[in-house]
Amino acid sequence: MTNGADVPAQVPQSTPSTPQDDGKLAIDGSCGPATIRRWQQVMGTTVDGIISGQKVPNQRTYWRPALAPSCVSYGGKGSELIRSVQAQLGLDQDGLLGPATITAIQRHLGVKQDASFGPATVRALQARLNENRF
């Protein structure tokens, strides 16, 4: 147990996406600092490339395999970006990228709803962000 949360046995490493020459995100399904920064810009929140204040996912109820570990800070107090996303989606605003928020994001993006912030979800997000919208 770490900070009261189960630590995943194995966390896949994703290769963070970078902007292409045209300034758009590569639609590669990897949520790195460039994707987070663009998401923060689109949502009008502080731009730092980090989803802050998160809890460690336990892999039983939800998972974030496409989110680069360097883009998340832990502490459980929540993220301004995720609060903004939750507000837009009509959810309770705790700032945590947990199963209800991930599922709502997936529903909003029109992808499979499995509470896993994986490559398919991130590709759909990146496509939207390249259109300057969430």
- What's the one-letter identity of residue 5? A
Q: What are phi and psi of 57, to 5 degrees?
A: -65, 150
Give the Cα separation of 123 and 111 in Å (integer): 10
**Which pTM was predicted?**
0.82
Point out the residues of the chain with pLDDT beneath 50.
Answer: 1-16, 18
